[in-house]
Amino acid sequence: MSLRALPPPARRLIAIVFIAVQPAMAGAEPTFDEVKAAARSSELRVLDASGAPLHRLRVDASVRRGDWVALADISPALRRAIVLSEDRRFYEHSGVDWQAVPAAAWANLWNTRTRGASTLSMQLAGLLDEDLRQRTGGRSLPQKIGQAISASGLDGRWKKHEILEAYLNLVPFRGEVVGIDALSRTLFGKAPSGLDEREAAVAAALVRAPNAEPARVSQRACGVWRALQAADAPAEAVTAGAASKAPDCGALDLFVTGALQRRAFDVSEGDAPHLARRLLAESTRIDAALSRQGGSAPADPVRTVRSTLRAPLQRFAVQTLQQHLRELRARHVQDGAVVVLDNASGGVLAWVGSSGELSQAGDVDGVTAPRQAGSTLKPFLYAQAIAQRRLTAASLLDDSPALIPTAGGLYIPQNYDRRFKGWVSVRTALGASLNVPAVRTLVMVSPDAFHRQLVSLGLPLRETGDYYGYSLALGSAEVSLLGLTNAYRALANGGRFGEVSLRPVASSVARGAPPATGRPPVIDPAAAFVVGDILSDPNARARTFGTDSVLATRFWTAVKTGTSKDMRDNWAVGWSQRYTVGVWVGNASGEPMREVSGTHGAAPVWAAVMQYLHAREPSRAPAAPAGLVQTATRFGDNLEAARDEWFLEGTQQPLFAINSGADHQALAGAGGGFDAKNPAAAASWRIRAPAPGTVFALDPDIPPQRQRVQLSASGGGAPAAGLRWRVNGRDVGRGASASWQPWPGRHALQLVAADGTALDELRIEVRGAGVRVGGLARTAAK
pLDDT digits (tens, 9 = 90+) for 67-92: 899 999 999 999 999 998 888 888 88
pTM of the model: 0.73
CA gap 322, 227 in Å, rounded: 49
pLDDT value at position 616?
Answer: 94
Helix residue ranges per DSSP H, 134-177: 141-157, 160-170
Determine the longest span between alpha carbons in the chain, in angstroms.
136
Contact (CB, 8 A) for 641 and 651: no
Confidence of residue 679 (pLDDT cuts 50, 70, 90): very low
Q: Of residues 422 and 547, which shows the higher confidence score?
A: 422
Helices 76-86, 160-170: crossing angle, 10 deg rounding: 90
**Helix residue ranges per DSSP H, 619-670:** 660-669
Tell me what pLDDT residue 237 has.
Answer: 47
pLDDT for 775 beyond 50: no
pLDDT tens profile 314-345:
999 999 999 999 999 999 999 999 999 999 99
For residue 115, pLDDT beyond 50: no
Distances (CA, A) of 666 to 400, 422, 663: 8, 9, 5
In degrees rounded to 5, what are phi and psi of residue 331?
-100, 20
Instruction: Give the pairing type, strands 177-178 and 64-65.
Output: parallel
Q: Calculate the average pLDDT of the chain.
A: 81
Res 449: pLDDT: 95
Confidence category of residue 223, pLDDT binned at 50, 70, 90:
confident
Identify the pLDDT of residue 289: 55
| Closest by CA position to 369, among listed 581, 569, 610 | 569
Report the pLDDT value the prediction gives residue 264, as an integer from 0 to 100.
53
Pick from 238-252, 399-413, 541-555 the range whose average pLDDT is largest: 541-555
Q: Tens digits of per-residue pLDDT, 699-740? A: 666 666 677 888 988 876 567 778 999 999 899 999 888 988
H or E segment to which residue 291 belongs? helix 273-292
Query: CA–CA separation, 394 vs 63, rounded Å?
Result: 66
Residue by residue, what is the 3-state secondary structure of 365-417?
CCCCCCEECHHHHHHHHHHHHHHCCCCCCCCEEEECCCCEEECCEEEEECCCC
Q: 662 or 312, which is more confident?
A: 312
Q: Which residue has the higher pLDDT, 663 or 715?
A: 715
What is the average per-residue pLDDT within 32-50? 89
Residue 250 half-sphere exposure toward CB, CA atoms < 13 A: 1
Are 186 and 262 within 8 A, CB to CB? yes
Query: How many helices (H) and strands (E) in the chain?
Result: 24, 31
One DSSP character per residue, 463-474 reads S-HHHHGGGGGG
Residue percentage of the chain with pLDDT more than 90 = 42
pLDDT in tens, 153-212: 888 899 999 999 999 999 998 888 899 998 888 888 889 999 988 889 888 888 887 778
335 close to 528: Cβ distance less than 8 angstroms: no
Closest CA to 390 of 432, 430, 439, 441: 441
Distance CA 418, CA 401 (A): 11
Q: Say how many residues make up the chain.
A: 782
In the prediction, which pLDDT does 413 show?
63
By C-alpha distance, which of 640, 771, 641 is closest to 706?
Answer: 771
Instruction: Return d(Cα 195, Cα 201) in angstroms, integer.
Output: 10
Sign of the dihedral through C-alpha 323, 324, 325, 330: positive
- Using pLDDT thresholds of 50, 70 and 90, give the confidence band for residue 606: very high
Sign of CA dihedral 438, 586, 487, 345: positive
- Is pLDDT of 46 > 50? yes
Task: Please list the residues that pair with 411 across neighbouring strands.
Answer: 404
pLDDT value of residue 295: 54
Give the C-alpha separation, 353 to 368, whole Å. Answer: 8
Q: What is the pLDDT of residue 143?
A: 65
Q: Is the dihedral of CA 173, 178, 180, 182 positive or negative?
A: negative
Q: Which of 520, 485, 528 is nearest to 347 (CA)?
A: 485
Q: Which of 278-292, 395-409, 480-494, 590-604 has the highest mean pLDDT?
A: 480-494
